[in-house]
């Protein structure tokens, strides 16, 4: 258990509304990641962070922004949600300098 929580676990929202998903970790890990999982695509990296206020884009970053103002929290924001952003969102961390990532339980987001 890597001590990762995600909130909310489920959310239904309407097209055009802003949405923020939260990832919280309790062990001061430096690297944090946001992925989305969709059928036929596996997991795709949205954004990642390598420290407080240090973030960068991943493979599918359009329509998403992130913030990391403190080590334990990594926020993913959909500025104006679209139906194509209906997905399951996972947060992950790495421990130390390792390659292995450890995932949170996920947030299922539905945009109607």
Partner 1 sequence: DQQVKQNSPSLSVQEGRISILNCDYTNSMFDYFLWYKKYPAEGPTFLISISSIKDKNEDGRFTVFLNKSAKHLSLHIVPSQPGDSAVYFCAASARGAGGTSYGKLTFGQGTILTVHP
Interface with partner 1 by CB under 8 A: which residues? Answer: 4, 31, 33, 35, 40-45, 48, 50, 56, 58-59, 90, 92, 94, 98-106
- Smaller CB separation from partner 1, 14 or 100: 100
Instruction: Give the C-alpha separation, 41 to 55, whole Å.
Output: 23
What are residue 54's DSSP bridge partners?
A: 51
C-beta of 16 vs 105, nearer to partner 1: 105
Cβ 15 to partner 1, closest distance in Å? 25
Residue 20 or 37: which CB sits closer to partner 1?
Answer: 37
User: Measured from the CB of residue 16, what is the shortest distance to partner 1 in angstroms?
Assistant: 28
3-state secondary structure of 18: coil
Q: Say if CB 89 and CB 76 are below 8 A apart.
A: yes
CB of 90 to partner 1, least distance (A): 6
């Amino acid at each position: 258990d890597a001590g990762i929580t995600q909130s909310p676990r489920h959310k239904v929202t309407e097209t055009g509304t802003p949405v923020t998903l939260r990832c919280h970790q309790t062990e001061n890990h430096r690297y944090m990641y946001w992925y989305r999982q969709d059928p036929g695509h596996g997991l795709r990296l949205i954004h990642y962070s390598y420290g407080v206020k240090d973030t960068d884009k991943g493979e599918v970053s359009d329509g998403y922004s992130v913030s990391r103002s403190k080590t334990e929290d990594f926020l993913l924001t959909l500025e104006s949600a679209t139906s194509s952003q209906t997905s399951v969102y996972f947060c992950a961390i790495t421990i130390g300098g390792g390659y292995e990532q450890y995932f949170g339980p996920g947030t299922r987001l539905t945009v109607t």
